[in-house]
Structures are given as structure tokens and as C-alpha cells.
Chain A
Amino acid sequence: MLEGLWQLLFRRRRHGQDSGKTQTGPAKEQISSKLQVNYERIKAAFGNSPDLVLRYLEAGDQGKISALVVHIDGLCDKRLVSETVVEHITDINHKWDSPEQAYVDLRDRLLSVSGVSEVNSLGEFITHVASGDCGVLVDGITRGLACDTRAWEHRGVEEPTTESTIRGTKEGFVESLRTNTSLLRRRIRDPRLWIEELKIGRISKTSVAIVYISGVAEDKIVQEVRNRLRKIDVDSIQESGHLEEFIEDAPFSPFPTILRTERPDKVTGALLEGRVALLTDGTPFALIVPATFTMFITTPEDYYERYFIGSAIRLLRIASFFISLTLPSLYVAITTFHQEMLPTPLILSIAAQREGIPFPAVVEAVIMELIFEVLREAGVRLPRLVGPAVSIIGGLVLGEAAMRAGLASPAMVMVVAFTGIASFATPVFSLAIGVRLLRFLLIALAGSLGLFGVVAGMFALLIHQITLRSFGVPYLEPLAPVVFSDLKDALLRAPWWALNTRPKFVGEKEPTRQAPGLRPKPPSREEKEVHHLEGKEGGK
């Protein structure tokens, strides 16, 4: 039965039309023909909340027809309500003989807002009101009108704080879904940018938009996204991370299989590759599916800087990913198991530093890593003004003191610090967190089995990654399985004029992105002659 309800919910509209199922009260009730009854029911549904505004109006010239205007204070534009709704209802110039006439007149002509929709049940009506619409009921009519007067306080479009770039757009998503879709529409001005919206959450009724480019995105993937979203039956969705956990492929994996981003350019890039974006109302973080591993070490900047610089920084980022994952464990393994692997002066230097340190290297590593993690966590949570103080106390005092007190060797402090910095080079936070946890696992393996343990751990991770799928797309694509045509934009980024095709698996429907042969080159002899002639003619 619930399935049927979702089916009902699921219609592609600009605005969600239907309510979810509310547990009690007027959900399935029809709108009564008696205005008084409706009034009481609405009032009861909101439990006398003070922000609910209900007003009886006498409509038309004769005052025989009464109407009810309902809206929630703070969710809609009051001026709009009075100018476009109330004024027209109460205008004494209207000559209405019957409620029916008044209703039709209002619906089709008078309510001068762009979005007016008709609702049939009281539950639906209430949902509209709860989302910020202004509802109008006319006495004697068992249908209601919902006018789009939504307007509420929200943050303006600002530079994304978690993903900043030097070059590229400074716009980031905001909490308002409509603003976010407009940011996307402004970048893709084509009707094929389709937005499907649905409400998730029995109580919160959060709007979630599925965005894709029709004809580019794979139908199967879009359908899969719809199916997974439909299955969600929770009381509320607060953040896209909340949503992510219900639809991800591998809930127990340390690796995220859904990419989240604050940047509209990243989303449009993914949409143009044939991927699907999910926007959730109330959070600036959009989700992109299917996500592959290489997308997590990619930033928009790779595509804005010239290609060899983009490729170089991407390689650097891959290196720092591996450093942040393995460096402490390699250090522990080599210094406690494989002393023969380091050059003699280096091993003597490390040995000198470890003189008098009471802990085994593995314990030392875990302690230092823990201190670092605590520092980082504290740094994130603290008010901005106190932040520098923490970094001074933590970084300078603790690190220096630990060394002076003989609790940690300088080499270990350096390893931990470098690891920490390298982990900041991972552009997507959700991957970086996963790596943070895995690092401890690898340190434990290194401390117990040496390099053998580290290698075994890395193999386990690799095998695990290979088994992962994100909405049907192999996680390590194009590295495993190898897709040659997609290697152009995996570890390296080929120049734009060589990025001719969309990725396999997601962009097969319309594989070609651009005309071939766009590489800039000096004009040929014929072209030169043409220009020459044109120039002469222009001179005349």
C-alpha cells in the first residue's frame, strides 16, 4: 500500500503536488464544503501554532461568499499574499453569484501569482500550507487553491567553504533547493536538464530533486536512483549525508560510493558526463551518482588550469592520498622490522632519535596520530577566533614538548605531520575520513607483521575496492576494469580538445561530447589566404 502511495507521489512536476501520508487527522479527508469545518480542522492539525495565519474573507461585492486564506507566517511573502491573493478576493468589483463562479474566477484569472495549483484533499492542502504556500478555500467548494508565495529567510549564494579553488566559480550551493536548481539551470540552459522532485520524510517532507540531462544520462541509472529513493520511508531527512546512507551501495565500506559536493560547476560537470545529481532541500551539499574512485581525487581546478598543470597536481594528489594512507605504517614497519632497508646514515639518525624513547615505534605512532586527530577535530569545532590558539598549542607546544620530553622522536613527529598535511590534499572530505580510519588499521598491521602486514592490508583494500559498485558502475573504473578511452581523464587529465567522449558506463547514450580535431594549430595556407583576402576587402 505504501508502495502505491509512493507511486502516486512520484510524478515529475516542478513542485511537489502531493503530500506524504500524515499519520493522523485530516490526511485522507476531503475538503468540507463548510468553511467553518475546514477552519477547525486546519487549526487542529497545526495544534494552534501561533505562526499559522487563518483569515476569513468576504469575497466579491455582495459579501455572500466567504473564503478562507491560510498561510504560515515567515514562510511566505506577506506583501505578495496581500497584493495578489487577499486584495483580489476582497475586491468589491467582482460580481459573483455563486461560490463556484468565484472559485473558478479566482483560480483561472484573479490570483496573480504564477503558480496556482488545485488540491483536492485537506491533507494535501495542509502540506502546501506547511511548505509555505498560501492556501485559499472558498465556502461551499470542496477543492482548494495553493498559491506559490514561498519566501523565507535564507543565506545568499557564497563561495563554497569546503571546496575552494583559485580559479573557477565562486558560487556555492545554499540551503534553498530552488536556488540550487537555479544555479544549475544557469549553467545548463537546455530544456533537457530535467529535474524530478519528490518529498522524503513522513514528517519533514524534505524535497529531494533528481537532476539529470535527459538523453545523456543512462535511463537505467536514473531509474535505479528513483527506485532507491522511493524505498526510503523515514520520518525525516536532514542532510544529504542522511540520504546518502539510505541509497549507497556499500554501507559497510570505508570508501564512499557517492560523491558529495558544494560546487555547482562540479555537479554540472558530472551531469554532462551522464551522471545524476541529487539535491536535498536544507543543505548545500549535493550528491552525485554514480561515483568512481578517481572522482574523489579530482577537483574542478584540474579542468580549469592548463592540462599538464592539471595532470601534475592530480598526480601530486594521488601521491598524497597514498602518503596519507600508508606513511606512518611504512615508517613503523621499516624501522621495527626491516632496518636493513634504509641507508645506513638514515637508520643511524633514526636510531639516535629513538634513544630513550619509552614506547615501541608502533605505540608512538598511534599516540601521535591520536593527538593529531584530536587536534584536528578540536580545530574544526572551535569558534574561528580560538582556532589559531589551538594550532599553536597543538602544533608547536605539543609537538615540541613531546620531543623534548622524550615521548616522541622528531622523525615520528615529522611523519605524522606530513601524513596529516597529505590527508588535507584529498579534496573530498568523505574519502579523507575513511582514509583516517584505515591508517590506524594499517599501523596495527605494520606493528604486528611489518611490511608483510602493510602489503596484505593494501591488497585487502584493493580487492575490496574492486568489488565495489556505485549504481552499477565499477568503483575503480577506468583502472579496473581498464577502459582505455576513459584513462584520458583518470590519473592524468588530457587536454580539453582531446576529451572527446563521455565516460563509458554512464555516458554511453550519447558518447560524443565535442567535434573532433579541436586542437589549436597554426592556420593552413588556404586559411591564411582567405584571411588575407577578407582583410583586403574590409579595407576597401
Chain B
Amino acid sequence: MPVKSMLKIVVLVLLIGITMTGCWNRREIETLGFVMAVGIDQAREGGKIQLTVHVAKPFAVGGGADGKGTMEEKPFWVVSSTGYTVFEAVRNFLSQSPRRLFWGHNRFILIGEEFARKGVQDVLDTFVRDGEPRQRAWVVVAKGARASDLLQAEFELERMPSQAAMGIIQGSRTGLSTIGKSMLIDFIQKLEGEGIDPIATRAEIVPRPQKFDIRGELKREKIGASARITGAAVFKDDKLVGWLNKPETRGFNWVMGKVRSGIIVIKKPGEEDRFIGLEILRAKGGFKPEIKDGRVSVTVRVEAEANVGDIQGFLDPLKSPGVWASMERRMATVIRNEVMAAVAKAQELDSDIFGFGAELNRRNPKKWAELKDRWDEEFPHVDVQVEVKAKLRRSGLVIRSTRIKR
């Protein structure tokens, strides 16, 4: 009896196996074109959307040990397609691409500035609705350019631009803190959230006119243009309204508590034409909105610790005891200025990128219910106080600077 029922199960499993073969999403890996990045622009023909994608050319990546990939060939293919919706445009690629596009490895959604100013909700929908694209793709806005132009950018050291850009984003997040986390999932959440507006990453095309050759041996084709991450793009609802530059973006990160590291440059106490570089070790940040006399005020608290990275000129903290405290005060001032710059810019653009409103909602839902309809008017007038605790920890391997004997 158990043998019989076992046999039945086996037969059933085999039947399912046979009937399901080749069904739904079995796709051989070599029949896929892996999309590495996508750019979204307004098409030149009226009303259409233009998609530009980077498709990886696996054989040119140089994966195999037998060196199938040649270093001369670009490892990616840039191709465009148009459609009235993004989904249609994606499907239209099939008329040009011998391989079906696979979106599971897409890491970037680039949006042209012009397009972003008109609103991005319509185009982001399919990236959320469809199962294939990742929610962790970075949303990037090309400042002063079309996304398709940004996709022409190439980078040194990495052959695959999306790989290079991931490296730059990683570096900007952990080493500079000049980039706000703006993956698709964050963007969508902030778009949906009440009292908070989304940001995206701001990228600029850098022309590379200097074509220097090292003894003419440079085999790789010249890089025409490169790109750089220069802060954040500020959205109001789904429309781009302005930009944060790098210090302002770090100010934004101070408020959000997302600063991981970075360099704070202060003027040297007593020698104002020289500078001191401080490396941020740890930082905490947060804010607390309150309502006083019907007016909203926000207290931003930042705690930061730093090490001394370099000092120009001579300084011996042991011999001049006040100087350490003075450096800490200056560090706090720099942080405060960055925060205030970010807040001022956000208030100027009337975009609550910090989520002051959302936090107020969490703390005081009743008041928020009264406020939320006129939050757009209220936000620019929010009174923001910044409290900074700055702490200098160590001075590196030496205490005093090198003293030049004369």
C-alpha cells in the first residue's frame, strides 16, 4: 500500500515535471540581455517616453579564463526605445535586441532633469509593479542633461559603468556622506509617506577633454565623458524642484543620522589662513518637532566624533591647552552650518525632505491632522534649532606636528 501511494506520488511529480518544462520563466542565461542601468527621458516625438538601457555584453566582460573578451570592445551596449508607457517601451526593445532584456540586475534608474521636473510617478510605476526589476535600484537625476547622455559616460578602472557607479556610490556613502540613500524603494516610500518628500541622487556629466596618452600605449578607446555624483535632487511630491550640493547633502545626512564618515575642514585656531582636516568617526543625528504657540519648531541634535587627520603648520595641543576645545567648537560650527544650509534649501524649495511632518504625525497625530492640509505653507516657516555636540578624539600617531628646525 505505501509502495503504491509512493509510486503515485512519484508519477505525479514526474508528470508535473514533464508538463511544466519550458513553461513560464525557464530562460537560459545566454538568451538574456542583462540590463545594468536604464535612463528615462522625454522622447523627441510627442508624448512618448524614451528609454535608454545599458545591456551587458557578457563575452566582452572578460569573464572566461580563455580570454574570450577583448579589452577593446566595450562590455555594454547602449540602446534606446520609445513608447507611450515605460512598459511598452521595454517591450519595444525586442524589435532591436536579439536577447530578451532581463531586469533583475538593473541597478540604476536615471532620469533626465527635464523629465524629472514634470513628474516621475508615471514612469516609476512599472518598476514597482513588475516582478523583475529590483527595488534596490538607485534613482538618479542627471543635472542639466538627458539621461541618455549620462548613459554615455564611462569610468576609468571599471569597464562596466554601472559597476563603476556602484563603487562611486559606495564611496560617497561610506567615505564622504555626500549622497542621500535614494533607492527605488526609499523613493516610493517617501512618495507615499505623509509629510515627507523624496530625494534622489544628483549626477552630473563631466566632459573629459584632456586626452593624455601615456606614450601612446593607451589601448582602450578614449573616454569621452564621465560622470560625478554631486549631491542630491530634491523632489516635491514626484516633481524635481531643486538640488542640494554636496555640503548640503551632508547637512541632510547629519539631520537624518546617516553620516558615516567624511572630512570636516576647519580653519586653524590662531592661524586663520591654514586648515585642519578632521575625519568623522561616528555620528548620531536626529530631530524632534514640537508645536509651541501654534508654531512648529524643530530641534535637530547632532553628536559627532572625529579624529585629527591633518594639521597645516605647527600645532602642539599639549602646550596650548585651549586649542583642542577651540577645534571642537569650530567643528561644531561647520556641522551646524551644513545642517542650516540643507534646511534653508529645503525650506526655500518647500520640500520636506527630512520628514519633519511625518515625525510630527508620529508624535502628535491630532495636531498633524490639523496641520497637514497647510503643511506646504507651514514648512518654510518652521523654526529649526540645531544643537551640535562635537568631540575630537585622537590626533593620529603623533600629538604635535612636525617641527621644522631652523
Contacts and interface: CB of A to CB of B under 8 A. Distances in A.
Interface string B1-24: 001001001000100111011000
A445 B132 CA distance: 23
A361 interface: yes
B163 A345 contact: yes
A347 B25 CA distance: 17
A199 interface: no
Query: Which of A252, A360, A445 has the most chain B CB within a 10 Å cutoff?
Result: A360
A354 B29 contact: yes
A421 interface: no
Contacts of B163: 344-345
B132 A340 contact: yes
A407 B70 CA distance: 22
Interface residues of B, number: 37
A142 interface: no
Contacts of B9: 460
B58 A361 contact: no
B17 A357 contact: no
A362 B58 CA distance: 20
A460 B17 CA distance: 14
B273 interface: no
B61 A352 contact: yes
Name B's interface SS: mixed
A392 B280 CA distance: 59
A450 to B, nearest CB: 7
Interface string B47-64: 000000000101101111
B105 A347 contact: yes
Interface stretch (A305-313, A316-324, A331-339): A331-339
Given A448-B20, A449-B16, A337 B64 contact: no
A77 B65 CA distance: 67
Contacts of B27: 336-337, 339
Contacts of A356: 30
B68 interface: yes
Nearest to B65: A410
A351 interface: yes
Contacts of A161: none
Contacts of B132: 340
A360 B20 CA distance: 15
A448 B58 contact: no
19 contacts: A336-B28, A339-B27, A339-B29, A339-B32, A339-B104, A340-B104, A340-B134, A344-B34, A344-B163, A348-B34, A350-B29, A351-B56, A352-B59, A352-B69, A355-B30, A355-B58, A448-B20, A449-B16, A453-B17
Which 9 residue pairs across A and B have the least CB separation, nearest first?
A340-B104, A349-B63, A352-B58, A351-B58, A352-B63, A448-B17, A354-B30, A448-B21, A344-B105
Given A349-B61, A447-B26, 9 more contacts: A252-B3, A336-B28, A340-B132, A345-B163, A347-B29, A348-B160, A350-B29, A353-B63, A354-B29
Interface of A: 252, 335-337, 339-340, 344-345, 347-357, 360-361, 410, 444-445, 447-450, 453, 456, 460
Interface of B: 3, 6, 9, 13, 16-18, 20-21, 25-30, 32, 34, 36, 56, 58-59, 61-65, 68-69, 102, 104-105, 107, 132, 134, 160, 162-163
